[in-house]
A and B are shown apart, each in its own frame.
Chain A
Amino acid sequence: MSRYQHIMAQKEEIVKASVGLDYAHYTTGLLAFDYEKLLADTGYDVTTAADIQRQTAVGNTPLVELKNITELVRATAAPGNGARIFIKDEAANPSGSFKDRRASLSIHEAKKRGYSGVAAATSGNYGAAVASQAAKAGLRCIIVQEAFDSQNIAQPEIAEKTRACEAYGAEVIRLSVGPELFYVFLKVLKDTGYFNASLYTPYSIIGIETLGFELAQQVKELCGRFPDAVITTHAGGGNVTGTARGLRKAGAVDTQMIAASVDLSGLHMASDHDFNRKSFTTGHTGFSMPFSTWPDRADVPRNAARALRYMDRFVTVTQGEVFYITQVLAELEGLQRGPAGNTSLAAAFAIAREMNEDHIVVVQETEYTGAGKHPLAQLNLAKKLGIEISRGDPKDNKPGVRIVIPRAPSQIAVTDVDLPGVRRSYLRHALEHLPSDTTLGAIDLQFLADETRTDLKFVEESIDELHRTAG
């Protein structure tokens, strides 16, 4: 047995000890589990989460109306169209992103249970959030990142996250490209006995509910009603899940939840060659497609981020469109933010154009900007690697080959992802995970309907169709 296989074989026991949750307890069928009970049993809800977050100045971030960008939308829209665009300035959180919300309950829980430290596998803002929260709680912290390629070229945005984590006193393990990051992470958990501050536990998701809850209340207070649409940058699914749950808990049940990702089709997420040619480290289809179609591919047995349960619409934008809107946000609104939230801002720009000018659309996050974490850093690296940069039609953008910055704001558009297709893809994965010689019972069929936000008819017809095409 290889070193890799040896550690991977111990995955279940290592994870169980490190999150302190017995996931098996929630199993209700062959595939089904009690999702709501898994979350409820943490003992936290949106109110207690907010109370804990206040203790470390997390949350209560400003909601900013982007009046100039709204004007720009209207300049490119049919008369009477162009919804008001607001942005939730999550960069105001202590470590500079909404990820502080996500880390807060995990660190609170780790401290309460007497763990001496916390660890997280993340190359993004989440590492800085965990490190910041751990520093405040007096816990030790280890962050494991996928940081550089085989030529030792660091992805600049991740280099900045390394610096931020180290600034908060964390140990940062930087790895070359590959999914074996999880193997290294399991070894860290086994060596240290630290709490696994996974992005995908119930603690992480309940921590985000406060974001949706707050923004619904802020919009209601300012405008007298809930937003018509909230647009969320979508990667692993936590942001969509937590925000949507928070909106519902605030009573904003009719608000449309739109997920937006940068289109990185054609690039392989585990490829050493492609690693530095993505120009985006998150919020892209390399995460959002696999996680939407099968969420249980995370570092915990049952992922509490289940985006397909909450999405009303799923759109993509191009790399060039996000870089363009980032520049517009800085120059028209005086806000240097992103990159992450600007994926949903680019989508909001196009979607607001389709909506009536009385409508309200909210971009639900910003993040801090800095050296490495900026369009200039990404485009300079892209140029160095031979990627062509030009102004032109965003339709000509080709990830890893050509980044096309729109010539005019009227060119910014979204591409709708075929949601029924994503749902069928989820069901295909579900069937692949079904133990052989078993058949789905009523509990499982209902679970699949809940998971795909459809009904028994859709699930049964799709499964029949999958059997026919497979047979």
Chain B
Amino acid sequence: MSNFAAKGAWVEIHSKVLPAGERAPQVPQDTQRVPLVMRAKGFLLQAAQVGDDVEIETCAGRHLSGTLVIINPPYTHTFGPPIDELITIGNEVRAILRERSQSQ
């Protein structure tokens, strides 16, 4: 896949909102040690390549800046494979109901 995106391309940017060490005082240690980062999507305002500092126009019409990280970012969330611990439950409870209806 090309690393170059034309002006107007739908992209995702990344930016650091708060650096590690400047987090809110109430956050636990493990969170204090990492920065607060933001990811947002929009239309690229000038041609660029992945890794460049760019500006985008979001769906709400705002202009945001950050590092170009993905061109045409995909949705990758899924279900994954079936889980052994769930797959037999249906048969188990149907058997309980069958037994109940036979005994009544």
Contact = CB atoms under 8 A, between A and B. Distances in A.
A171 B18 contact: no
A330 B62 CA distance: 42
The 7 closest A-B pairs by CB, nearest first: A331-B90, A380-B80, A372-B77, A159-B77, A171-B60, A171-B58, A150-B34
Interface residues of A, number: 66
12 contacts: A4-B23, A150-B34, A163-B77, A170-B59, A173-B38, A175-B38, A328-B90, A330-B90, A331-B89, A331-B90, A390-B85, A409-B93
A159 B75 contact: yes
Contact of A376 (B34, B59, B86): B86
A117 B35 CA distance: 29
Interface string B20-42: 00111011101100111111111
Interface centre among B31, B34, B94 (most CB of A within 10 A): B31
A208 B104 CA distance: 42
- The bracket for how many chain B residues form the interface is 35 or more
A312 interface: no
B2 interface: no
Contacts of B37: 175-176
Interface string A351-372: 0000000000000000000011
Interface string A261-303: 0000000101111000000000000000000000000000000
B38 A331 contact: no
Given A272-B30, A331-B90, A192 B36 contact: no
Contacts of A371: 77-79
Interface of A: 2-4, 68, 71-72, 74-76, 117, 140-142, 147-148, 150, 154, 156, 159-160, 162-163, 166, 169-180, 183-184, 191-192, 268, 270-273, 323-324, 327-328, 330-332, 371-372, 374-377, 379-381, 389-391, 405, 408-409
Contacts of B18: 3-4, 180, 183
A377 B77 contact: yes
Interface of B: 17-18, 22-24, 26-28, 30-31, 34-42, 58-62, 75-83, 85-86, 89-90, 92-94, 96-97, 99-100
A192 B100 contact: no
Contacts of A183: 17-18, 24
A389 B36 CA distance: 31
Nearest to B89: A327
Contacts of A330: 90
Contacts of A389: 83, 85
A162 B74 CA distance: 12
Nearest to A406: B89
